[in-house]
């Protein structure tokens, strides 16, 4: 199903915001198949920002687990950690990679335009970091988290957030005292005003989202700076800070063959290699699939391949 902005979010003349597509939510539970438990925690009380925490079935209660801070996709306008697709995706990652996860419910545009999503996400990451000495407010993190192995992960807009938070982690100014081992970006939302590689000629009949749709999103969610070369959405723009400052040691970029944004992901990985950044970047491409294909069927062969690549990344020390 191809997306248009009107199909995803509509702003009526009276200011009312409508999201036409029904959202399927999953309540808190202990997953009967994997044994993964979940609970919701308020991480920024003054803004009522919530995160859904996930804990795998513990075979050794004394063993500390890597931490995954996850940011869902949806173009900054739809979805939550409670959306069934993302609840189930994080559950699978937690079970198979044996990590403890924090999935952040950042505020969405247009009611809360950019930079709200970034502000909420960095506040949530600071909340996670507050547990690094074992005396934070959340027992799951105090008792089971290994803060030498902290990962950021996300899809689409969530991958964009993960990149921008890793840039913040490499800059001492925000006061973000957390070391990141790696970031995994799935179909990252990076864009620009000038087409690159195949973007200008990409056949729309293959795409889940076309160039026109992507062109519209950033100006819609960020009216204060509607330029698609804003460094937050185009980290390769001339005015963007050097990627050499990325504050992690490893990066995995996952792209899909039929995604109009695939070349931005490739260029990002190439720019990282050229930047002087001292880490290791890998790219993983799913052939024959489009943007966010896994959201339609997490059990498909291609989805399983993607999930296993992510699991391997989070398990690798």
My answer on whether omega of the bond before 110 falls inside 30° of 0, hence cis, is yes
Mean pLDDT of the chain: 92
The reported pLDDT for the residue numbered 8 is 72
What mean pLDDT comes out for the span 166-170?
Answer: 94
SS3 162: helix
Evaluate the CA torsion angle 8, 52, 93, 313 in order and state its sign: positive
Residue 131 token pair:
């547990």
At residue 4, φ and ψ (nearest 5 deg) are -130, 160
Closest C-alpha among 60, 272, 72 to residue 159: 72
Q: Are 88 and 176 in contact (CB under 8 A)?
A: no
Tracing tokens 């899909």 back to the chain, one arrives at 256
What digits encode the pLDDT tens for the residues 271-296?
Answer: 999 999 999 999 999 999 999 999 99
Residue 53 token pair:
């925490």
Q: Are 178 and 130 in contact (CB under 8 A)?
A: no
The reported pLDDT for the residue numbered 2 is 46
Residue 237 confidence (pLDDT) above 50: yes
The reported pLDDT for the residue numbered 10 is 65
Where does the pLDDT of residue 5 fall: very low under 50, low under 70, confident under 90, or very high at 90 and above?
low
Q: Distance (Å, rounded) from C-alpha 156 to C-alpha 219?
A: 16
What mean pLDDT comes out for the span 297-311?
Answer: 97
The share of the chain scoring above pLDDT 70, in percent, equals 91
CA angle 9, 15, 17 (to 5 degrees): 25
Q: Distance (Å, rounded) from C-alpha 208 to C-alpha 206?
A: 7
What digits encode the pLDDT tens for the residues 178-234?
Answer: 889 999 999 999 999 999 988 877 666 666 788 888 999 999 999 999 999 999 999
What mean pLDDT comes out for the span 256-270?
Answer: 95
At residue 154, φ and ψ (nearest 5 deg) are 180, 165
My answer on whether omega of the bond before 115 falls inside 30° of 0, hence cis, is yes
Least confident of 27-36, 109-118, 205-214: 205-214
Where does the pLDDT of residue 1 fall: very low under 50, low under 70, confident under 90, or very high at 90 and above?
very low
Q: Are 224 and 254 in contact (CB under 8 A)?
A: no
Q: Distance (Å, rounded) from C-alpha 6 to C-alpha 210?
A: 14
Evaluate the CA torsion angle 205, 209, 210, 213 in order and state its sign: positive
Q: Distance (Å, rounded) from C-alpha 297 to C-alpha 293?
A: 7
Using only C-alpha atoms, the chain has a radius of gyration, in whole angstroms, of 18
CA angle 188, 305, 296 (to 5 degrees): 65
The reported pLDDT for the residue numbered 173 is 66
Domains observed in the chain: 34-315 (3.40.50.1820)
What mean pLDDT comes out for the span 21-29?
Answer: 82
pTM: 0.94
Q: 84-97 and 301-315 helices cross at what angle (nearest 10)? A: 50
What digits encode the pLDDT tens for the residues 116-156?
Answer: 999 999 999 999 999 999 999 999 999 999 999 999 999 99
Q: 157-169 and 116-129 helices cross at what angle (nearest 10)? A: 60
Q: Distance (Å, rounded) from C-alpha 192 to C-alpha 198?
A: 13
The reported pLDDT for the residue numbered 204 is 60
Q: Distance (Å, rounded) from C-alpha 106 to C-alpha 156?
A: 14
The enclosing H or E element of 299 equals: none
């Amino acid at each position: 199903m191809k997306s248009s902005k009107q199909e995803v979010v509509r702003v009526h003349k009276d200011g009312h915001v409508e999201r036409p597509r029904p959202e399927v939510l999953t309540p808190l539970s202990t997953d009967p198949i994997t044994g993964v438990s979940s609970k919701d925690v308020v991480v920024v009380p003054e803004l009522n920002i919530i995160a859904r925490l996930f804990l795998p079935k513990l075979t050794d209660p004394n063993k500390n687990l890597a931490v995954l801070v996850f940011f869902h996709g949806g173009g900054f306008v739809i979805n939550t950690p409670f959306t069934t697709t993302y609840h189930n995706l994080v559950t699978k990652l937690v079970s198979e990679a044996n990590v403890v996860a924090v999935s952040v419910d950042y505020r969405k545009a247009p009611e809360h335009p950019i930079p709200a999503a970034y502000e909420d996400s960095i506040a949530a990451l600071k909340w996670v970091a507050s547990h690094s000495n074992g005396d934070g407010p959340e027992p799951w993190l105090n008792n089971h988290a290994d803060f030498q192995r902290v990962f950021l992960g996300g899809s689409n807009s969530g991958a964009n957030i993960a990149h921008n938070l890793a840039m913040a982690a490499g800059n001492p100014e925000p006061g973000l005292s957390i070391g990141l081992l790696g970031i995994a970006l799935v179909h990252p939302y990076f864009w620009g005003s000038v087409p690159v590689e195949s973007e200008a000629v990409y056949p729309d009949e293959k795409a889940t989202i076309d160039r026109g749709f992507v062109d519209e999103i950033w100006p819609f969610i960020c009216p204060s700076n509607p330029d698609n070369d804003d460094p937050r959405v185009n980290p390769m723009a001339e005015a963007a800070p050097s990627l050499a400052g990325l504050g992690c040691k490893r990066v995995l970029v996952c792209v899909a063959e039929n995604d109009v944004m695939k070349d931005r992901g490739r260029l990002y990985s190439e720019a990282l290699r050229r930047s002087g950044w001292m880490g290791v970047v890998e790219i993983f491409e799913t052939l024959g699939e489009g943007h966010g294909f896994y959201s339609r069927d997490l059990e498909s062969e291609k989805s399983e391949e993607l999930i296993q690549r992510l699991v391997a990344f989070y398990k690798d020390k």
